[in-house]
Amino acid sequence: MKAHTRETQATMTPQKALQFLKEGNLRFQNNLKANRNLLEQVNDTSEGQFPFATILSCIDSRVSAELVFDQGLGDIFSVRIAGNFVNEDILGSMEFASKLAGTKLIVVLGHTSCGAVKGACDDAKMGNLTGMLAKIKPAVESVSEPKDEGQRNSKNLDFVDAVAEKNVTLTIDNIRNMSPILKEMEDNNEIDIVGAMYDINTGAVSFFE
């Protein structure tokens, strides 16, 4: 499989970009990697890059977007931060990726058993981690009381995963509210902004549709 070019990027639509990622995740789940020569892709992309998607995911070592979507060099912009939330710097990166570099899709990818979400659920405090986890607290507060004896902490994995899903939807809301550029592009059908969850037990990505 060759690296994307200006011409192949130009044929991309948000819907086609989403389909590419879905197909890549199916390959990943079935251990059927696309046939690509990474060293050849190094050469192919040496004078330019033409990715089709931007993916915001967690720093979790099990959730590498390139791997779980079976993508090669030059295919996606990968933004990673614990808890997959946005701030001004990340939004600026996304605006560059979409408006200037031509990606057609933004994916906010959460995952099950997220350590950052667990920390926010437990109200953990430690150095700079305290301020970072505070950005996930709105998701914790937005999830209603769990059924099993009101256990709103990291011991309740169902609650943790519910908070992780809510954090994805709130992050998408923040992208639209904090970036007029990306909101306008979405309104004009130039890009889509979608959420998804990665299951660390199966390798499957479920998109919010």
Residues with Cβ within 8 Å of 180's Cβ and at least 6 positions away in sequence, in order, are none
Q: Over the stretch 21-62, which tens digit does the pLDDT of each residue have? A: 999 999 999 999 888 888 888 888 888 899 999 999 999 999
pLDDT at 5: 81
Contact 24, 67 (CB under 8 A): no
pLDDT bucket at 147, cuts 50 / 70 / 90: low
Mean pLDDT across the chain: 94
60 is in an annotated binding site: yes
At 119, list the tokens. 């920390």
The rounded distance, in Å, linking the Cα atoms of 12 and 192 is 12
CB contact burial 50-78 (16+ within 10 A = b; e otherwise): bbbbbbbbbebeebebeebbbbbbbbbbb
pLDDT at 7: 81
121 is in an annotated binding site: no
Q: How many CA atoms lie within 13 A of 105 on its CB side?
A: 25
89 is in an annotated binding site: no
The rounded distance, in Å, linking the Cα atoms of 182 and 93 is 11
pLDDT at 48: 86
58 is in an annotated binding site: yes
pLDDT bucket at 191, cuts 50 / 70 / 90: very high
DSSP bridge partners of 197: 110, 206
pTM of the model as a whole: 0.94
pLDDT at 209: 78
Closest CA to 62 of 171, 158, 207, 199: 199
Average pLDDT over residues 130-157: 87
The rounded distance, in Å, linking the Cα atoms of 168 and 55 is 12
pLDDT at 146: 60
Contact 208, 194 (CB under 8 A): yes
User: What is the CATH architecture assignment of 6-112+172-207?
Assistant: 3-Layer(aba) Sandwich (3.40)
Distances (CA, A) of 139 to 15, 39, 119: 28, 42, 12
